[in-house]
């Protein structure tokens, strides 16, 4: 029997690899891994570097798979928006079936890997992220503005994943980190929703800036949730939490006040530029306070 040999051109193989990588949203996965690693480092436990490596591998697989499945579920609406029309499924680089199989495979593989190489509690939390993101947040975006608030739950769990991976327990410190990520996401997501409200409306999403187009509710929530975040961001320095100390307290106060200032400026004088500044401030705030917590703990 003669076996035929299938030769796949290197350019085609590279294109497939890039398409599958794009399906996982690498930049978003990187942010998830940063907050997961921060949660791992900020526990009272000594750093187990091999445990951290296993956590990063499992989380990367799980996050990438979830985001790939999200693109599979939103393939029709992605095709209607300029900012997402170039994604692998809408532009035809990958078929929906390829994306579905790929997403299910690596998401499931990530959960199994974490349960075997890290601990069962961490695998359970990752599974909760999968279910809430794909089965609650994703379909709800086309039905209710509540999707932004419910979607902040899976988005706030990565540092909890890191914490439980390091300790095997769900403790107060993990809850505080969850609270920071939860309230950070609200002004961040609403700023993006306001910036791209026309595209989201064309795709049929029922986000707050679309349901209430005058913007008053959106701007109120942006500055009010940022105000809450300003105070929630100080919780790691409390003696009962003991994640960070006074140096972090200073940095968090300054960063939170600046972020709040941009949010309040947006509410008082709404514009595309003010919304972009608020979104940029949110992108600066989170890594600044995470780094400040880690530095304060190490030094």
Q: What's the pLDDT at 298?
A: 81
**Around Cβ 30, how many Cβ atoms within 10 Å?**
11
Give residue-wise pLDDT tens across range 42-63.
998 888 999 999 999 999 999 9
Q: How far does CA 18 lie from the centroid of its chain?
A: 21
Q: What's the pLDDT at 177?
A: 97
The structural domains of the chain, with segments of one domain joined by +, span 16-170, 172-299
Q: Count H helices and E strands in the chain, helices first.
A: 15, 0
Query: Residue 119 gets which letter from DSSP?
Result: -
Give residue-wise pLDDT tens across range 256-282.
999 999 999 999 999 999 999 999 999
Burial class (CB in 10 A: 0-12, 13-18, 19+), 58: buried
| Number of Cα atoms under 13 Å in the Cβ half of residue 7 | 1
pLDDT band of 184, cuts 50, 70, 90? very high
Nearest CA among 182, 200, 183 for reference residue 141: 200
Cβ–Cβ < 8 Å for 160, 55: no
Cβ–Cβ < 8 Å for 229, 188: no
> Between the ranges 14-18, 74-78, 265-269, where is the mean pLDDT highest?
265-269
d(CA 205, CA 77): 9
- String of b and e for 81-117 (b: at least 16 CB within 10 Å)? beebeebbbbeebbeeebbbebbeebbebbbebbbeb
Nearest CA among 15, 95, 21, 6 for reference residue 65: 21
Q: Does domain 16-170 match CATH 1.10.357.140?
A: yes
Q: What is the dihedral of CA 56, 62, 67, 69, to 10 degrees?
A: 160
């Amino acid at each position: 029997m003669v076996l035929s040999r299938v030769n796949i051109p290197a350019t085609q193989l590279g294109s497939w690899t890039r398409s599958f990588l794009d399906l996982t949203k690498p930049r978003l996965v990187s942010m998830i891994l940063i907050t997961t690693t921060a949660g791992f480092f900020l526990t009272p436990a000594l750093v187990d570097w091999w445990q951290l490596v296993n956590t990063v591998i499992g989380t990367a697989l799980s996050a990438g798979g979830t985001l790939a499945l999200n693109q599979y579920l939103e393939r029709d609406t992605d095709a209607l928006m300029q900012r997402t029309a170039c994604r692998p499924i809408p532009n035809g680089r990958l078929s929906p079936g390829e994306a579905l199989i790929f997403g299910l495979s690596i998401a499931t593989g990530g959960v199994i890997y974490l349960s075997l190489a890290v601990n069962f509690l961490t695998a359970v939390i990752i599974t909760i992220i999968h279910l809430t993101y794909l089965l609650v947040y994703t379909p709800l975006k086309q039905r209710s503005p509540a999707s932004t608030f419910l979607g902040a739950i899976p988005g706030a769990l990565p540092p909890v994943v890191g914490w439980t991976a390091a300790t095997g327990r769900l403790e107060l410190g993990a809850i505080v980190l969850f609270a920071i990520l939860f309230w950070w996401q609200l002004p961040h997501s609403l700023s993006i929703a306001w910036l791209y409200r026309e595209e989201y409306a064309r795709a049929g999403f029922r986000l707050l800036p679309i349901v209430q187009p005058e913007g008053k509710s959106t701007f109120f929530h942006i500055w009010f949730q940022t105000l809450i975040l300003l105070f929630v961001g100080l919780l790691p320095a409390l003696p009962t939490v003991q994640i960070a100390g006074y140096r972090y307290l200073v940095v968090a106060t300054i960063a939170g006040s600046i972020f709040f200032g941009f949010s309040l400026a947006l509410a008082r004088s709404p514009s595309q530029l003010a919304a972009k500044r608020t979104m940029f401030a949110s992108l600066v705030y989170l890594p600044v306070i995470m780094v400040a917590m880690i530095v304060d703990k190490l030094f």
